Amino acid sequence: MSSQPFEAIASELDYPMLVVTVSDDVERSGCLVGFSTQCTINPPRYVICLSKKNRTADVAARSDTMVLHVLRPGDESIARLFGEETGEEIDKFEHCRWRAGPGGAPIVEDCDWFAGRVRQRIDAGDHVVHLLDVLDDGNAERTAAGQLGFQALRDLDPGHSA
């Protein structure tokens, strides 16, 4: 069965783009993510998918908590830092303002964010699905600004292939 119709449709979807950060008490890492969604209302749960090729997936495998940063117009430099650079070559956190958050995961300053505790991990092929129990921690000061979606960031040159 051909996946060409799916690929044509999926390439036009405007997924919300998030920066995910994690810490395992030894290392911290973060990356730009396009595959995520809220999956329950009560209790609030969220799903985030990390590419197995990404260094953040390795650190996330040893982390209990993730911080998810919702990108808004004006956050393109953060998207480029976490989407085009790889943690194997630079410390991304030396190039942005951040502080430690829930579970030690970095919080990128000036971004809306929420945190989740990893409930389950599922192998999904080239990505690992992380089912998160959403925590009460977070910041939602810029919600009126809208979201920065995939279509606005199509020209990024990924630090890793998917």
pLDDT digits (tens, 9 = 90+) for 119-142: 999 999 999 999 999 999 898 888
Structural domain includes residue 11: no
Structural domain includes residue 10: no
Residue 68 banded pLDDT, cuts 50, 70, 90: very high
Structural domain includes residue 1: no
What SS3 class is residue 139? strand
9-63: pLDDT as tens digits: 888 877 888 999 999 989 999 999 989 999 999 999 999 999 999 899 999 999 9
pLDDT at 150: 65
Closest to 129 (Cα-Cα) out of 53, 46, 29: 46
Of 58-67, 73-82, 98-107, least confident by mean pLDDT is 73-82
Q: Which residues contact 118 (CB under 8 A, 6 or more apart)?
A: 60, 63, 64, 65, 66, 130, 131, 132
- Span between the terminal Cα atoms of the chain, in Å: 22
pLDDT at 136: 94
What CATH number corresponds to the domain at position 142? 2.30.110.10
pLDDT at 22: 97
Structural domain includes residue 12: no
CA angle 33, 38, 42 (to 5 degrees): 150
Q: How many domains does the chain have?
A: 1
If one compares 88 and 4, the residue with the highest pLDDT of the two is 4
CB 47 within 8 A of CB 130: yes
Structural domain includes residue 158: no
pLDDT at 15: 84
- Structural domain harbouring 22: 18-153
Structural domain includes residue 70: yes
Q: Which residues contact 68 (CB under 8 A, 6 or more apart)?
A: 18, 19, 20, 33, 36, 46, 48, 113, 114, 115, 116
Structural domain includes residue 7: no
Structural domain includes residue 2: no
Of 18-27, 80-89, 144-153, least confident by mean pLDDT is 144-153
pLDDT at 45: 97
Average pLDDT over residues 68-97: 90
User: How far is the C-alpha of 13 from the C-alpha of 138, rounded, in Å?
Assistant: 27
